[in-house]
Structure 1
């Protein structure tokens, strides 16, 4: 592992941490340029998703609203950063700002004791599927997030949700990966990017658009 002072060390990534004197003005200029490039990338990617997914987003929101009207609940799940995003999705559906309508929503990665028990006793690839087997029922909504589209535990959860008659919604990156194959989910939203950062930023935007569209259907605005 490289360290500060070694060729290719941490100062190659963060030059302002280097022990030797650096051109601070050049560093600031580079940081500003990098920030602008990243901001431009995510704005362009988000705009491209309008044309790519607009009709599917509307159709998915209508299906989700119908599920919630019938008493369905939302279960959201993912790994790492996608787990954090899944918790944010559940939060906005379950505790939205007023006067939006709240619906029952559960993030499946919130219970550390349950996750570690299932990982240890059954296997990490089933930590979400086992929870859906116990909690899910026909008419509920399963929202799975994965940057690669190939996370085994997310794929297994989607399969379990489908078997139980749940509405399945998937958000993935790159080319969609295994989740994009064989019609694994009812509504799939692919973010066509090779950057994990841009994918996750765009995925949470798609989730908020879905929430807003669902709210409009629930309140009769559409």
Structure 2
């Protein structure tokens, strides 16, 4: 195994000319991994401590909308787009014993996303879909690490005009999302690290999914 590793990554095993030994590099990797794990655990505990009541209130509001026949629309850009799709999946394909609930990721249809981006502009790629599909009993959840994505801002304003329940999940100070009056519940992960923010956001929306599903029974 060592021979195979050294052939692929010779710099890890060459201690000459000031290079570090493999053991030293691996020790550094282990320390870094442990530090990151401790950091995200502490961040998740802080979010629970500071925003636990908001999570409970939001989960109850989501459950109430679902019980009235509401549907969930999720959206985000880049990695947040993947998180939005994961959130929709939590409702459509829940753990055994839970009832599936209607949820849709607005980035799922490549033809729709590219057509709207090309014809009317990327800033409207989510708001146009909400204008077409959204109803007042529905829910809109937007994810952004910075809180500054223009297409999320216009989507929240559109959802608010329709009467949808609006939920924002962002990082650090919340960016421009924190300035909106069109977001009913805003969760902010208190970190400037995109990686830590996304990891904690995942915890937030999984908790919301569990609370909403339990309450909508």
The verdict on a shared fold, with TM-score over 0.5 as the criterion, is yes
Moved >3 Å (runs of 4+)? 16-20
**Partner residue of 1:33?**
31
Which protein, 1 or 2, shows the higher relative CO under an 8 Å CA cutoff with sep ≥ 6? Answer: 2
**Partner residue of 1:112?**
110
Are 2:63 and 1:49 equivalent residues in the alignment? Answer: no
Matched residue of 1:75: which SS?
Answer: strand
Gaps of 5+ in 1: 1-15
Q: Pick from 208, 211, 215 the counterpart of residue 206 of structure 2.
A: 208
**TM-score normalised by the chain length of structure 2:** 0.91
Q: Please give the alpha-carbon distance, in whole angstroms, between the structure 2 residues aligned to 1:165 and 1:139.
A: 7
**Partner residue of 1:92?**
90
Matched residue of 1:76: which SS?
Answer: strand
Q: Please give the alpha-carbon distance, in whole angstroms, between the structure 1 residues aligned to 2:87 and 2:183.
A: 18
What is the CA distance between 1:142 and its match in structure 2? 0.1
Q: Residues 140-191 of structure 1, C-alpha deviation per residue, up to 9 Å, x if partnerless?
A: 0000000000100111111110010000000000101110114330000000
Matched residue of 2:186: which SS?
Answer: strand
- Aligned-residue RMSD, C-alpha: 1.4
**Partner residue of 2:68?**
70
The answer to whether the 8 A contact 2:13-2:22 is kept is: no
Q: Please give the alpha-carbon distance, in whole angstroms, between the structure 2 residues aligned to 1:181 and 1:110.
A: 28
Matched residue of 1:103: which SS?
Answer: coil
Q: 1:96 to 1:31 in 2, by over 3 A?
A: same
Q: Residues 59-99 of structure 1, C-alpha deviation per residue, up to 9 Å, x if partnerless?
A: 11111111000000000000011000000000001110111
Aligned length: 204
**TM-score normalised by the chain length of structure 1:** 0.89
The answer to whether the 8 A contact 2:12-2:25 is kept is: no
What is the CA distance between 1:19 and its match in structure 2? 8.6
Matched residue of 2:159: which SS?
Answer: helix
Q: Please give the alpha-carbon distance, in whole angstroms, between the structure 1 residues aligned to 2:144 and 2:95.
A: 27
Matched residue of 1:168: which SS?
Answer: strand
